[in-house]
Amino acid sequence: MTELITLLISQGLALLGGILTGIITGLLPGIHPNLIAALTALTTLEPVQAAVFLTAMVGTNTIVESISTALLTPDPDKAGSPCQQFLEQHKAPDAARLLMLGATLGAIISLPSIFVILPLVKKTYFIIRPWLAIILACLSAFFIFQEKTWQKKIWAILVATSAGILGWIVLNNPFPEPLFLLLTGMYALPTLTQHVFGTHTIPSQRKEVVTSLSARQTLLTIVGGSFSAALLMLLPSTSPSHAAYAAQPLARKPEHYLLLLGAINSADLILSLGAAYYLGKERNGVMATIAGSTEVTLHLAAFLGGVLLISIGISALLSVWALPRITALLEKTSYRTLSLSILLLILGITIWLTGWIGVVILVTAGAIGTLCQNTHVSHKHCMNALTVPVIGYLR
């Protein structure tokens, strides 16, 4: 009995610690769960306790990052992106709520659907495996030629090529924390730097709910988003934005797109957990850390699935309660000061974990992301930093 109580307390503390850590990573752009997973691997936590901590963290991060996405880092791909529209229309809290709603419902729907999706993914993967490198190359070219003008197509080629070369160099050499350096550099640094040197402010936001949704369209969008996340299982190096592009016919309005993106983010987590057991395939750094420390059995996968749902539920309730308060606080906070603080934190973590060579990689990745941002081409091209090494591996 004493052992059982001790076990429950230890797992409860791991769950609580994961939720608290997920809140921090969700609110601070650039501090990715994969970085925390790498640091967790250096601790003396028991394997199952570490798995509970990491699962709770990544589930919480998925919900809480809706706030920072809506208020701090609107989609950099274009000025007319849904988050940017909501921010300029003084409805950013609604954008955060839609992302959280999509993520919460997406997790609930995805958990039972993995018994349908994963067997289909497994069969399809073995069919397309010989052509996967060609498919990824064609997909990269497709997104380049989706740019509207020839000038943008040329810039997209430059961004995709530069990202691919950097990714090939970094991932084929023993640099520490390569994914943290590449993804933080390309995605977080450009926006943060723009805020530091710009004159950005958060407009006054309406705290009450002002966006209405139909139940039918909401359900259709969530289900479509959950199933489109299966594309992420089939195609390595793809991101939720790729799955959202595939499911765009379901998202004709900005609010539907936000629901869709939220559902894809949480469905990706559920499917990644199921794939670690059913396919023996880890899609992200968190799952790789868990699988590297303990065998992902059916019982562990089911247990972690419950942890994921609990952390998502708790963090959703906390986020809904905290959203008006965080919004009011951010309206009074200097964008420049906040962004500079986060930049300095990222720089400090980079030096601590990787030394000055890591700073060089981070700044280089940031330059590519900034080029992408300033030329107004899609940030999907930056994913070539992962796509090119994967194609090389598959060949």
Q: What digits encode the pLDDT tens for the residues 83-138?
A: 777 877 878 888 899 999 999 999 988 887 777 778 888 888 888 888 989 999 99
Residue with tokens 């208020």: 71
pLDDT of residue 73: 62
Question: Angle CA(8)–CA(12)–CA(13) in degrees, nearest 5?
Answer: 120
pLDDT over threshold 60, residue 77: no
Contact 167, 389 (CB under 8 A): yes
* Mean pLDDT, rounded, for 324-330: 84
The domain of 60 spans: 2-394
pLDDT of residue 231: 74
pLDDT over threshold 70, residue 71: yes
Q: Any residues with CB less than 8 A from the CB of 13 and at least 6 apart, and which?
A: none
Residue with tokens 């562990």: 300
C-beta pairs of 234-237 under 8 Å, 24+ apart in sequence: 234/121, 234/124, 234/125, 234/128, 235/132, 235/135, 235/136, 235/139, 236/132, 236/136, 236/283, 236/386, 236/390, 237/136, 237/383, 237/386, 237/387, 237/390
- 209 pLDDT band, cuts 50/70/90, is low
Q: What digits encode the pLDDT tens for the residues 213-245?
A: 777 888 888 888 887 887 777 788 777 777 877
Looking at the structure of the chain, the number of domains it has is 1
Q: What digits encode the pLDDT tens for the residues 127-155?
A: 888 898 999 999 999 999 989 899 999 99
Give the separation between CA 197 and CA 141, rounded to whole angstroms. Answer: 33
| DSSP letter (8 states) at residue 19 | H
Q: Which alpha helices (DSSP H) does 46-149 contain, by range? A: 47-71, 82-88, 92-128, 132-145
Confidence (pTM): 0.86
Contact 387, 380 (CB under 8 A): no
Going by C-alpha positions, the residue among 104, 113, 108 that lies closest to residue 312 is 104
